[in-house]
Amino acid sequence: MALIDELKNAQKDAMRAKDKVRLGTIRMALAAIKQKEIDEQVTLSDADVLAILTKMVKQRQDAASQYDAAGRDDLAQTERAEITVIETFLPQALTDDELAALINEAMASTGASGMQDMGKVMGFLKPKVQGRTDMGALSAKIKQQLN
């Protein structure tokens, strides 16, 4: 089943269950997906939808940390609840061991030997880890291995 269909079915289930937080979050995700489809005049693939959902999680993490810094625990809690809902549609996160193995594989496949090859390694890994790990943390781990 396509990820967008999964979101639409979850929206219907949330409506039936009268789960306002889940319903609102799913509607927000579907609106972001629809906006991208209209802007680019294409039908998005699952990989594109995953990228949008990953971006939404990152935005909410940033917002939650800003709300925490401002002492607005109520708003931070709302953002974290939305993150929990969005993450149910993302693939299972990679463990550190799996990530290390993928980085080693990417470095061997691309022949990376130094920081100048960072782009090659990231390009190799991005489609494999999209939505399954934080790209900033991945970048830091690759830099650590390349040095």
Q: DSSP readout, 29-86?
A: HHHHHHHHHHHHTSPPPHHHHHHHHHHHHHHHHHHHHHHHHTT-HHHHHHHHHHHHHH
Return the pLDDT at 51: 87
83-124 pLDDT tens trace? 999 999 988 888 888 888 888 888 888 887 778 888 888 888
CB contact at 8 A, 90 and 55: no
Q: Do 73 and 8 reside in the same domain of the chain?
A: yes
Q: Do 102 and 83 reside in the same domain of the chain?
A: no
Q: Which domain holds residue 135?
A: 96-146
Look at the chain and report how many structural domains it folds into.
Answer: 2
pTM of the model: 0.76
Q: Per-residue pLDDT for 1 more than 70?
A: no
Return the pLDDT at 81: 95
10-63 pLDDT tens trace? 999 999 999 999 999 999 999 999 999 999 999 988 888 988 998 999 999 999
Q: Do 28 and 71 reside in the same domain of the chain?
A: yes
Q: Do 45 and 117 reside in the same domain of the chain?
A: no
Per-residue tokens: 3: 């990820």
Q: Do 56 and 21 reside in the same domain of the chain?
A: yes
